[in-house]
Amino acid sequence: MPALATAFYHGSPQSKEAIPVANFLSREKQIQVLRLLSEGNSIRSTMRLTGIEKKTITRIVVRFGNQCRAYLDYKLVNLPLDHVQLDEIWTFCRIKEGHARKRNLDTARCGDQYLFTALDTETKLLVTFAVGKRTWETTDVFIRDLKRRLVLPVALGEDRPQLSTDGFQPYLPAIRRHFHGAVRHGVLIKQYSDNTGRYAPPSLAGTERINISGISDLTTICTSHVERSNLTIRTFMKRFTRLALGFSKKLENLAAATAIHVATYNFCRIHGSLKCTPAMAAGVVDQLWSMDDLYNAVTEYAAKERAKAKREQWIQKLLDRLQQGN
């Protein structure tokens, strides 16, 4: 696992050792657990429905979530997307930020955490994500990973992909640093009136669209689709449900659960406006996947990577012995 000292968690597992799952737990049981969790159930409700111990369910989430992140890194690349919307959604880990500060806890691993998401406007594909504090560092990691996934034109022109963001300031230098003008960028700032209650949504008072680079039609600057995706996240991920007890207790578990949601959303869930999955609309796959198909694809890729790592390790040991013999 990558260290969390920089207060962000991109989610890409560096350890090649699989987290053990009880030998008696069958493939069908594991898929049942993942299916229940992906439909918005909490770990404890999944435990009651399946009879599987809570620690075992947590191990399944972490193991399969890390494998999902690796598979997403492998599968979601070279995407010819036209318009990607970026946003952040709030949650917290272990303890609320205010209580953590009162107890002088290290808030890098607890307190407020944000999920950065990138959603394609046309295919509704969740291109990538990052989990961490709402800081310059997390934004920089998020934008760098987004660039790796997009197909960028050689010549600068109107055919460049468009990025739409909110007014969060770190987006501007991060996009400028990593894309070097290879994308068009617009900012949508929404003004709200005073909130009518603690949990009531504020009324929209007005909007301001700003061209940062290459936007000729300001009306195309939009973040509504990615903001609607936040509702889907809160609906199907118990860890993001407000005023509930399903929040994450560990940052690693939050990142792993998010990777499972992104994989399930992209490959297994038919989007209401598309009548197919986002992965099908983006041309990543050519048919609807079930949870069984996703499980097979992810675990097979993980097995290949483990075998590849073992071969590389064996070759390196052989080279070391040859050098010692000389």
User: In this structure, what CATH number is given to the domain that contains residue 252?
Assistant: 3.30.420.10
3-class DSSP assignment, residue 41? coil
Q: Is residue 1 part of a domain?
A: no
Domains of the chain: total = 1
Of the candidates 248, 289, 307, 277, the residue with the CA atom closest to the CA atom of residue 114: 248
Q: What is the structure's pLDDT at 204?
A: 83
Q: What is the structure's pLDDT at 159?
A: 84
Q: What is the structure's pLDDT at 197?
A: 66
Q: Is residue 165 part of a domain?
A: yes
List, in order, residues 6 or more apart from 326 with CB less than 8 Å away: none
Q: Is residue 56 part of a domain?
A: yes
Q: Give the residue numbers spanning the domain of 241.
A: 8-310
CA gap 307, 310 in Å, rounded: 5
- For residue 152, how many C-alpha atoms fall within 13 Å in the half-sphere facing its CB? 15
Q: Is residue 261 part of a domain?
A: yes
* The one-letter amino acid at 183: V
Residues in the chain predicted with pLDDT less than 70, given as ranges, are 1-24, 195-199, 326
Q: Is residue 319 part of a domain?
A: no
3-class DSSP assignment, residue 229? helix
List, in order, residues 6 or more apart from 137 with CB less than 8 Å away: 6, 7, 8
Q: Is residue 320 part of a domain?
A: no
Q: Is residue 326 part of a domain?
A: no
Q: Is residue 316 part of a domain?
A: no
How many Cβ atoms from other residues are within 10 Å of residue 225's Cβ?
A: 18
Q: What is the structure's pLDDT at 50?
A: 96
Q: What is the structure's pLDDT at 201?
A: 72
